[in-house]
Amino acid sequence: MKRVAAVDLGASSGRVMCAEVGPSVLQLRELNRFWNGPVRVHGTLHWDMLHLYRSVLDGLQLAGPIDGLGIDSWAVDYGLLDRAGRLLSNPVHYRDSRTDGVMERVLSVIPAADLYAVTGLQQLPFNTIYQLAAEELPADAATLLMIPDLLAYWLTGEIGVERTNASTTQLYDVTARDWSDELIARVPAPGARSNGGLPRRIFPRLREPGDVIGSVLPDETGLAPGIPVIAVGSHDTASAVVAVPAENELFAYISSGTWSLVGLELDAPVLTDEARRANFTNEGGVDGTTRFLRNVMGLWILQECQRIWGDDDLEELLRAAADAPPFAVLIDPDAPEFLAPGNMPARIDERCRASGQEPPRSRGAVVRCILESLALAYRRTLRTAQAIADQEVDVLHVIGGGSQNELLCQLTADACGVPVLAGPVEASALGNVLVQARALGEPLPDLGAMRALVRSTHSLRRYDPQGKPADWDAAESRVFGTR
């Protein structure tokens, strides 16, 4: 039996969990949970890195004796260190507008087909490559660290970047499984010196999930000396997919939180033109797997509505949505205007007017619109993934915070026409501790064994498709046109 701690930083909240992992045991206990989100300073959206670090230490101090700790977080964002190892500035939030128009500039230098052939990544305006191309690289930048790697560096003094998160930068060669020297040399960064590109030296060596990063520095952190910090699938979605409680290979998943990550697990990336045109990503997973998925905008839209309304009674909003008339108003949740923080109810109204629909009149109707529109986007994404990967799906696993949303789970089953199995809620933390436990010697030889342990220790809720499939066909052609 191993006792480990998981630091899991989602885009809307962070938490530190303590877990016991052993034969037939997988028990998670929350030590603390803290707010996370964008902080605007002089017009730029940042992450509050020191608040996160402080909160992580607060949580870890409550853990008691542990055999190891692992860190996962949202992807794509990074911190830059100078040669002395000092963080040069607070990491910028991926929703910041500094990347507006940058993708187009980069694509005029590196054609989209070249980029996809190397990285297999979905075009998202905030991918690390575009963030780096958006700004002058500080002259004293010596090292780029992804967010979990930065925290691991603060805890241990060790430098490196974990592979699953590196795979989200669009500077990683998904076939060679290493940084792409070619792309790094071609990035048209404003700060590029004579021959353009980014300096290769800022990209540290890659780590594998399961590698021991180092030991906690006790003096600074106040933690017990010698605790090993273990690399996990440090991209939160990589860790979450480890904990999908699938029984066989014919499954799809939605990692449902701030984002909805909708897709399949494959043995190898799909780098075809069809996959590129459908804007599917091939993110690196634990044990060499590929996450073939698309980012759907997710519960972010609802979170922002709640912030604007000043209404944190999600239960009541979901009750009102359940009572609101179905298919009244539908939007494409992936429309670019939903990416940045702001007045989502007003943006939804605008979208409705622009598409000839009467804007929703009540909060319940707005929430219904968001949830039905998400379910529709899931259906479209899932069908496209299956067609491209030529894979049958007999169950759709919904994991993460959004798996608690009963209305959304039912709508998802209805829209996709497949049974939904909902749970576990804390999938990222579970994937994190499972990979640590294996690294520490627990007999969990492969993903199948880890998933069997999740299945036998967590109860899932099943939603069978209901209603008329024709309603969803009609809804799909209303929003996306007939294909």
Query: Which residue in 59, 209, 257, 269 binds ligand ADP (CB under 6 A)?
Result: 257
* CA 302 to chain CA centroid, nearest Å: 17
The contact pattern for ligand LRH, residues 195-234, with x = CB under 6 A and - = no contact, is ----------------------------------------
Least distance from ligand LRH to the Cβ atom of residue 165, Å? 9
Q: Supply φ then ψ for residue 29, to 5 degrees.
A: -130, 130
The item of ligand LRH, ligand ADP, none sharing an interface with residue 261, based on CB under 5 to 8 Å by kind, is ligand LRH
Closest CA to 372 of 389, 356, 352: 352
Q: How far apart are CA 162 and CA 209, in angstroms?
A: 7
Least distance from ligand LRH to the Cβ atom of residue 50, Å? 21
Sequence-distant (6+) residues with CB within 8 A of 182 are 118, 173
Going through 299-356 in order, the beta strands assigned E by DSSP cover none
The item of ligand ADP, ligand LRH, none sharing an interface with residue 180, based on CB under 5 to 8 Å by kind, is none
Question: Concatenated DSSP letters for 50-102?
Answer: HHHHHHHHHHHHTS-S-SEEEEEE-SS-EEEE-TTS-B-SPPBPTTSGGGTTH
* 120 touches ligand LRH by CB under 6 A: no
Task: Pick out residues in 232-271 that bind ligand LRH (CB under 6 A).
Answer: 235-237, 258-259, 261
Least distance from ligand ADP to the Cβ atom of residue 306, Å? 8
* 442 touches ligand LRH by CB under 6 A: no
Q: How far apart are CA 318 and CA 406, in angstroms?
A: 9
The item of ligand LRH, ligand ADP, none sharing an interface with residue 299, based on CB under 5 to 8 Å by kind, is ligand ADP
Task: State yes or no: is 173 an active-site residue.
Answer: no
CB contact burial 123-162 (16+ within 10 A = b; e otherwise): ebbbbbbbbbbbeebeeebbbbbbbbbbbbbbbbebbbbb
Query: Which of 8, 77, 236, 334 is an active site residue?
Result: 236
Q: Which stretch binds ligand ADP (CB under 6 A): 286-294, 295-303, 342-350, 439-447?
A: 295-303
| 55 versus 303: smaller Cβ distance to ligand ADP | 303
Burial of 392 (0-12, 13-18, 19+ CB in 10 A): exposed
From residue 101, alpha-carbon distances to 85, 108, 125 in Å are 32, 11, 8
Helix H or strand E segment including 113: helix 112-119
Q: Which stretch binds ligand ADP (CB under 6 A): 106-114, 129-137, 298-306, 344-352?
A: 298-306
* 299 touches ligand ADP by CB under 6 A: yes
233: helix, coil or strand?
Answer: coil
* 92 touches ligand LRH by CB under 6 A: no
Least distance from ligand ADP to the Cβ atom of residue 276, Å? 26
Largest CA distance in the chain: 63
Task: Pick out residues in 288-327 that bind ligand LRH (CB under 6 A).
Answer: 295
Least distance from ligand LRH to the Cβ atom of residue 54, Å? 21
Sequence-distant (6+) residues with CB within 8 A of 216 are 69, 155, 156, 223, 224, 225, 226, 227, 229
Contact between 49 and 77 under an 8 Å Cβ cutoff? The reply is no
Contact between 239 and 227 under an 8 Å Cβ cutoff? The reply is no
| Partners of 263 in the β-ladder | 253, 293
| 400 versus 423: smaller Cβ distance to ligand ADP | 400
The item of ligand ADP, ligand LRH, none sharing an interface with residue 402, based on CB under 5 to 8 Å by kind, is ligand ADP
The contact pattern for ligand LRH, residues 351-390, with x = CB under 6 A and - = no contact, is ----------------------------------------
Contact between 213 and 156 under an 8 Å Cβ cutoff? The reply is yes
Task: Pick out residues in 400-419 that bind ligand ADP (CB under 6 A).
Answer: 400-402, 404-405
| 119 versus 234: smaller Cβ distance to ligand ADP | 234
| 259 versus 280: smaller Cβ distance to ligand LRH | 259
Q: How far apart are CA 372 and CA 357, in angstroms?
A: 15
Task: Pick out residues in 8-37 that bind ligand ADP (CB under 6 A).
Answer: 10-13
> Which residues make up the interface to ligand ADP (CB under 6 A)?
10-13, 257-258, 299, 302-303, 314, 400-402, 404-405
> Which residues make up the interface to ligand LRH (CB under 6 A)?
10-11, 74-76, 94, 235-237, 258-259, 261, 295
Q: Which positions are catalytic? A: 236
